[in-house]
Amino acid sequence: MSADAHGSKDATPTTCVHNRGFLDALPFGDRQDFEDAARGFVGTLPEVEFRNSDGRVVYSLKDYAFLAHEEAPATVNPSLWRQARLNMNNGLFQVTDRIYQVRGFDISNMTIIEGSRGVIIIDPLISMEVAGAGLELYRHHRGDRPVTAVIYSHSHVDHFGGVRGVVDEAEVKAGNVVVIAPDRFMEEVTKENVLAGTPMIRRAMFQFGAPLPKGPRGQVDAGLGKVTSRGTVTLIPPTQVIREPIEVHRIDGVEMVFQLTPDTEAPAEMHMFYPGLRALNLAENATHNLHNIYPIRGAQVRDANAWAKYLNEARDRFAPKADVVFAQHHWPVWGNARVLDYLGKQRDTYKYLHDQTLRLMNRGYKAAEIAEQLTLPKSLETDWHVRGYYGTFSHNAKSVYQRYLGWYDANPANLNPLPPVKRARKLVAYMGGAEAAVARAREDFAKGEYRWVADAMSQVVFAEPDNKPARELGADALEQLGYQAESATWRNAYLLGASELRTGRTAAPGTTRAGADIVRGLTLDLFFDFLGVRLNGPKAEGKTIVINWEFPDSGQRYALTLQNCALTYLAERHADGADATVKLDRATLNRIMLRELALPDAMAGGLVRVDGNPLKVAELFGLLDDFTMAFEVVEPLRAKT
């Protein structure tokens, strides 16, 4: 097989046959989605490419010109190619009277509703640069209307991160702009982006494929949209929170019915119905693909049963009075009959996935066995909008299993297996050694048994990380699996895995940190939780430290205790006999967390006052780990613990 400049190779005959099968199985003559994705087009930019203030490109569609070809190359699943071409639609689109969307400027959509005094922005994308460009495009075509409200549909960064690109926080503080979000929004935003932020960012590289070259042998799409923007992430906390299951509000003259949908696509999420406009916004719970019950970047497992339930309630309560349904990704569906059909099939897909996983689980099948046999029912398999471009039935079934029974499959042999490297070394020895394993795997690769070859070569790589033949063959197998994948996220993961086996890990060394707005939004409880996550337990062995914390600007107090290698705290407490008391304002803490200010410098400058033994404070901070994304994924972890 020939390789290109990036080391990527051709599709094998087995992959070509696999992909041609999709052309025969699916209704490629159905052009309705292409008509819907283009409907209401108002205008776009001559070139969709945005830069930050330093001149760095944060989002671009220029590299996707190859998608102009209608016929899929052999290296891309034809079904995914179709989705990738649909996701190239970009610019300003009219959904219905007074409702517009900016699409294709990020992985998500920004919805704009024209109110009595100005415009209501729903979900201002990931980055302020792209959000600002989207609003500017709208104003170019519709006039310079002020922003009167911002609504976050849910707690994922692609639905709030660009907020400072569309509104000045001073306008919010002055009461001129209301910011609305669902219950638990701030809690879930900060939890997801801080406590498990480092591994999630590293794993997101595999899910979205950002490090991959764009092209027929690389990243073609993300399923939910083209790719995530990489600009300035911001956050303005909500000034109004939707707390009841159903709430009705009039926002800038527009009546809105909010339906909370917790623990669906996000822990904090909500639908919106606009009765006067006969339009239903389903946030990210009904898009033009099967979504994730568990995203492979990592997250809390979602509730597929609740997901179906909330879609059913929305269909029953709102859909009969809706002429259009849309979401914060992809394109709308128009016509009441089509709206009802679309929502019914979305609902039934998640309900089927949930119930059939549990049925098989109750018959004794394990997660991997369920995933291997569970597929879309025949009545749904030719409906494009429930196909697995983002989530898949395979990993979603495992996720439903995990939600109910966890990681353990009840086989005692799997209760305490050897860790990856020790297990790999034993397995390779049982195979007759690395050379014999690679030789057998080459035969299986020729037969098209790529799943097994990828697995077997992964064992050899974990046993012998520098074994070049195993790395190359494992990369070749992952690459073919990527070429075959209908799911964009699977394709991206396979291809980045292949790339890292060939050339080494992608992530550049460096300390990860949350954005300034997210840090400012942290509760102090979550700050102290994160200190506990950073504590290096083995280093803390035998140490006991008690520190009181006082924040004069807010009046808050905490008693922090290190004991038995665990860091615990009590709010509104002051521990007697503490080693030290630390006094600082919250703004100073934020600067320290953002590494704009070192703790010793803050103490020297009088911004932090320590009463008692300052060496104990220094000792505590000396026990904290810094996290980087430069850890291995497809080979053994070499970083120190």
Q: Which residues contact 542 (CB under 8 A, 6 or more apart)?
A: none
pLDDT of residue 192: 79
Query: 495 to each of 37, 217, 221, 390, 492, how far by Cα in Å?
Result: 28, 8, 13, 15, 5
For range 382-411, the mean pLDDT: 96
**CATH 1.25.40.880 boundaries in the chain:** 417-503
pLDDT at 518 exceeding the cut of 90: no
Report how far residue 372's alpha carbon sits from residue 365's, in angstroms, rounded to the nearest whole number. Answer: 11
pLDDT of residue 539: 95
Provide, for the chain, the percentages of residues in helix, strand and coil under a 3-state DSSP scheme, each rounded to the nearest 5: 40, 15, 40
pLDDT of residue 640: 61
pLDDT tens for each residue of 155-210: 999 999 999 999 999 999 999 999 999 999 999 998 877 788 888 889 999 999 99
Average pLDDT in the chain: 95
Report how far residue 607's alpha carbon sits from residue 593's, in angstroms, rounded to the nearest whole number. Answer: 14
Cβ atoms of residues 130 and 161 within 8 Å:
no
CATH number attached to the domain at 417-503 = 1.25.40.880
Report how far residue 7's alpha carbon sits from residue 30's, in angstroms, rounded to the nearest whole number. Answer: 36
Dihedral, 615, 616, 620, 622 alpha carbons, nearest 10: 20
pLDDT tens for each residue of 545-569: 999 999 999 999 999 999 999 999 9
- For strands 580-583 and 566-571, give the pairing: unpaired
Which amino acid makes up residue 573?
R
Report how far residue 420's alpha carbon sits from residue 100's, in angstroms, rounded to the nearest whole number. Answer: 51
For range 569-584, the mean pLDDT: 95
Largest CA distance in the chain: 77
Residue 142 corresponds to which tokens in the numbers above? 């519709």
Lowest mean pLDDT among 142-151, 289-298, 514-523: 514-523
Q: Which fold has domain 516-622?
A: Nonspecific Lipid-transfer Protein; Chain A (3.30.1050)
pLDDT at 528 exceeding the cut of 80: yes
pLDDT of residue 198: 86
Report how far residue 173's alpha carbon sits from residue 163's, in angstroms, rounded to the nearest whole number. Answer: 14
Task: Quote the DSSP letter at residue 32.
Answer: H
More confident residue, 592 or 585: 585
Which alpha helices (H) appear in 26-127, and where do they start and end? Answer: 32-38, 78-86
- For strands 246-251 and 240-242, give the pairing: unpaired
pLDDT at 593 exceeding the cut of 60: yes
pLDDT of residue 483: 98
- pLDDT confidence tier of residue 522, bands split at 50, 70 and 90: confident
Give whichever of 226-235, 504-513, 516-525 has the largest mean pLDDT. Answer: 226-235
pLDDT of residue 507: 60
pLDDT of residue 509: 43
Q: Which residues contact 440 (CB under 8 A, 6 or more apart)?
A: 431, 456
Cβ atoms of residues 152 and 159 within 8 Å:
yes
More confident residue, 7 or 289: 289
- Please state the pTM of the whole predicted model: 0.94
Cβ atoms of residues 324 and 422 within 8 Å:
no
Radius of gyration for the alpha carbons in the chain, expressed in angstroms and rounded? 26
pLDDT of residue 619: 95
Closest CA to 429 of 454, 453, 455, 464: 464
For range 615-629, the mean pLDDT: 91
pLDDT tens for each residue of 406-428: 999 999 999 999 999 999 999 99
pLDDT of residue 246: 98
Cβ atoms of residues 309 and 353 within 8 Å:
no
Report how far residue 16's alpha carbon sits from residue 1's, in angstroms, rounded to the nearest whole number. Answer: 13
Query: 116 to each of 146, 147, 253, 254, 527, how far by Cα in Å?
Result: 11, 11, 5, 8, 41
CATH number attached to the domain at 13-26+34-386 = 3.60.15.30
Spell out the SS3 assignment of 340-388.
HHHHHHHHHHHHHHHHHHHHHHHCCCCHHHHHHHCCCCCCCCCCHHHCC
**CATH 3.30.1050.10 boundaries in the chain:** 516-622
Query: 471 to each of 106, 436, 523, how far by Cα in Å?
Result: 34, 15, 45
Closest CA to 283 of 296, 256, 265, 308: 265
- pLDDT confidence tier of residue 511, bands split at 50, 70 and 90: very low
What angle (nearest 5°) sits at the alpha carbon of residue 228, between those of residues 226 and 230? Answer: 140
pLDDT of residue 193: 75
Report how far residue 111's alpha carbon sits from residue 28's, in angstroms, rounded to the nearest whole number. Answer: 29
**CATH 3.60.15.30 boundaries in the chain:** 13-26+34-386
pLDDT tens for each residue of 444-484: 999 999 999 999 999 999 999 999 999 999 999 999 999 99
Dihedral, 159, 161, 162, 164 alpha carbons, nearest 10: 130
For range 498-504, the mean pLDDT: 95
* In the block, residue with structure tokens 């979000």: 181
For range 292-316, the mean pLDDT: 96
* Residue 411 burial (10 A CB sphere; 0-12, 13-18, 19+): exposed
Task: Quote the DSSP letter at residue 287.
Answer: B
pLDDT at 258 exceeding the cut of 90: yes
pLDDT of residue 63: 95
Cβ atoms of residues 257 and 265 within 8 Å:
no
Percent of the chain's residues with pLDDT above 70: 98
pLDDT at 59 exceeding the cut of 80: yes
Percent of the chain's residues with pLDDT above 90: 89
Sheet holding 270-274, edge to edge: 246-251, 254-260, 270-274, 279-281, 324-326, 333-334
Which alpha helices (H) appear in 417-534, and where do they start and end? Answer: 420-430, 434-446, 450-463, 468-484, 488-503, 516-521, 524-534
pLDDT of residue 150: 98
